[in-house]
Structure 1
Amino acid sequence: MSNTTNVLKIDIVSDVVCPWCIIGYRQLEQALKATGTAYEINWHPFELNPNMPAEGQNLRQHVAEKYGVSKEQSEQSRNSMAAAGASVGFEFRFTDDMRMHNTFNLHQLLHWANQQGAMHDLKQALFAAHFTYSRDISDHNTLADIAAEVGLERNEALAILESQSFSAAVRDAENGWVEKGISGVPAIIFNDRHLVTGAQGVENYTRILQQLAEA
């Protein structure tokens, strides 16, 4: 980050199982570095599949049912995402048995991590766990392991998941963003005023940051 006193506030509404959320973030990250922008990032919850059962669903089957795409179209989309990810240093390893998951528990864990200043690190670890390493992020023990890997207390993480103690807080936060008109992710809000949706690319994010600095 730059030492300038003008710190750009960035709110990112996203879901861990959204591939374009991590691509968009990595693109933005490169643009922030290129422009020397001083910034603070706040992550916020959004569920792509709030009604999905805990055990999840095969990803290719899920995409076919939700978007009506063929296996060939799905493969083409995966290749595009993998290339976009590689261009910003994130590795997608798509497999035939990869699953889509319900992420409500993950958002509760992230909410707890935020209280300890570790939400950003946990968010990045969860993206990698899902898309790069195909870890079972519906499993409480796996989530507790990931929390421990970023320096959080494993037993406390497990207790949070078992007790569902942050369920109301997360649901309120999710509903709050929906009420503000957020219906898809990533949704990035700069300084509480300027909304940018989707993965815009490093060049476009750089241009946006420059325009914000000039304003």
Structure 2
Amino acid sequence: MGKRRLEDALKKIEHPTKVVYRCFELDPSMPRDVDYNIYEKLSQKYGMSIEQAKSNCRNMEKSAKESGLDFRFDTMVLTNTFDAHRLAMFAKDNDLMQAMTERLLRAFYTESKHIGEHQTLIELAVEVGLNRDQVTEMLSSNAYSDAVRADEQEASQYGIRSIPYFLINKKYAITGAQPTETFVQSLHQIIEQDRLNQIESEDGGLNCDESGCELPKK
């Protein structure tokens, strides 16, 4: 949902941007096959009742629908997503990471597919244009494991503990699935701040803060 709202916000600002996807597992210890559902997982993790977990998910489904997304928590299949992340990194090397990421998210949130199973991942990969044999070989190996872990290590260094998390120019952070207009306002502020920083750098002495800029005192 945060991804979709960011995409909508980027359409509203007149500024060149480049979006880079990074790997992040919410629960690296989760097994590939589990015998509990999302409501039981949330109840156990946050100490809430099953009914409260369901209510929270219903609210998320409603918010998702407002962004043009169809979340279906009742049939969601929880699983370990490490191999899905490896597949996304493989797709990155084939200039298909955005398409692969979008396909994985739709498979998980809307279609209730088991994205921990290799056969499911292979079929999804073929759909976006990746080579079946190459994907099969990659998944049967440890390829891209280091790349996934490197992304997660970098996230840890930035203190990232949850997603969605948007790191801009490695300096500014927007956390959570904020409303589209909040993204727009934040991005405009960041663009302006970077412009002022550039002026300061080129001028060699212009002092800027939140209240504005002034020339240094002689």
Q: Give the TM-score taking structure 2 as reference length.
A: 0.84
Task: Give, in whole Å, the separation in 2 of the partners of 1:214 and 1:122.
Answer: 33
1:213 Cα deviation (Å)? 2.6
Gaps of 5+ in 2: 194-218
Q: CA RMSD in A?
A: 1.3
CA drift at 1:79: 1.4
**C-alpha separation between the residues in 1 aligned to 2:189 and 2:76?**
40
The residue that corresponds to 1:71 in the other structure is 50
Q: Name the count of aligned residue pairs.
A: 192
2: distance between equivalents of 1:100 and 1:136?
7
> 1:101 maps to which residue?
79
* Equivalent in the alignment of 1:211: 189
1:53 and 2:23 are equivalent in the alignment: no
Tell me if the contact between 2:125 and 2:132 (Cα under 8 Å) persists in the aligned partners: yes
Instruction: State the alpha-carbon separation in 2 of the partners of residues 117 and 101 from structure 1.
Output: 26
Letter in 1 for 2:179: G
Moved segments of 4+, more than 4 Å:
none
Aligned pair 1:89/2:68, yes or no? yes
Q: Which residue matches 2:104?
A: 126
Q: AA paired with 2:162?
A: G
Distance change (3 Å), C-alpha of 1:164 and 1:62:
same
Name the structure 1 match of 2:91. 113
Give the drift of 1:166: 1.4
- After superposition, give the CA deviation of every residue in 1:64-91 in whole Å (9 maximum; x if it has no partner): 1111221221121111111111111111
Q: Which has the higher contact order (CA 8 A, sep 6+)?
A: 1
Q: Which runs of 5+ in 1 are unaligned?
A: 1-22
Cα distance in 1 for residues equivalent to 2:23 and 2:91: 13
- Measured after TM superposition, the shift of residue 98 of structure 1 is 2.6
* Higher strand residue share: 1
Q: Is 2:145 aligned against 1:163?
A: no
Give the counterpart of 1:139 among 84, 101, 117: 117
Q: Secondary structure at the match of 1:196?
A: strand
Deviates more, 1:167-176 or 1:141-150: 167-176
Counterpart code for 1:46 = F
Aligned-pair identity in percent equals: 34
Q: CA-to-partner distance for each residue in 1:111-166, whole Å, 9 max, x for gaps?
A: 11101111111001001000100011111000010011111112211211111211
Q: CA deviation at 1:100?
A: 1.7
In structure 2, the residue matched to 1:8 is: none
In the alignment, what sits opposite 2:198?
none
> Is the 8 Å Cα contact of residues 62 and 100 (structure 1) preserved in structure 2?
no
Would you say the 8 A contact 1:50–1:104 is kept in 2? yes
